Structure 1
């Protein structure tokens, strides 16, 4: 039997301007996402849907979750493979069309300690992609376009 993991969050709406949802333009989309332990995340909807651009929206959080999951698996699998990573940054991008995500592209930039590790380090991205729980849970393609360089 597979081991189960449970995740609990609370989302609390903070956008009542005094008249509730009396009209589409009469309320803010502001909310707060909390869980036991980490700091709260200020949320809203995408600015295209009357949201606050200074707050996280669900679409950004989904793209960030995919990038985080890939990175964490990548770092683990790199360590197991003897690839020494000294830097990692990802500029992930998601595309929505017709009210659904159609694709997310991860663009991790990885630095390793030795040029002889570049080929192995590049190959580990495919393994990380297969292992990522979040990527395995979505119904759209998640591609990765890694760049791996050696520290000078």
Structure 2
């Protein structure tokens, strides 16, 4: 069986040199630009806790966004295959990062909180069950070494409509 191999290319360019380079850990900015051919640039930085700018995307947010996007896309595909008509989807994903005493760190968990609106509410149980399957086929969730869960939220239960 031949496996399909897909390649993804991105470029990172550091823009945070304030004139002294990395003379010390507070002398430089963490700002950078993430780019890929044909796409708009993405302003990046470190988490503000680690001297980053609060108005730019940090790697931790991007990892969590990738997990949430992948779960949604996998879920929508499975719903379509199962004949479940989804008319709305949103998520409020939360990730937990542990910073170790030596300055290293790792994500210890990511939890998706998808709110799915259905054309036929009678299909709710089947629709909710698809989250587990979506997790199993999500490329990004399969690639990380920490737990990723989906905890579906009923439409309206979070105070917003679907």
Which TM bucket (shorter chain)? over 0.9
Give deviations 1:7-45, integer Å, cap 9, x for gaps. 000000000111111111111000000001211100000
Partner in structure 2 of residue 30 of structure 1: 31
The within-5 A match list for 1:79-118 is: 79-97=80-98, 98=100, 99-118=105-124
Give the 3-state SS of the residue equivalent to 1:69 in structure 2: helix
Task: Point out 4+ residue stretches in structure 1 off by more than 2 angstroms.
Answer: 147-152
1:121 pairs with 2:127: yes
Other-structure match for 2:73: 72
**Do the aligned residues in 2 keep the contact of 1:94 with 1:105 (CA within 8 Å)?**
yes
Give 1:56 shift: 0.2
| Contact 1:112/1:149 (<8 A) preserved | no
TM-score between the two structures when normalised by the length of structure 2: 0.90
2:123 & 2:149 partners in 1: Cα distance? Answer: 22
Deviation at 1:2, TM superposition (A): 1.0
TM-superposed CA distance for 1:114, in Å, is 1.1
Give the structure with the higher percent strand: 1
Give the secondary-structure state (helix, strand or coil) at the position aligned to 2:68. Answer: helix
Residue 148 (structure 2) aligns with: 142
Q: How many residues align?
A: 152
Structure 1: tracts of 5 or more residues without a match = none
Q: What 5-or-longer segments of structure 2 have no aligned partner?
A: none
Question: TM-score by structure 1 length?
Answer: 0.96
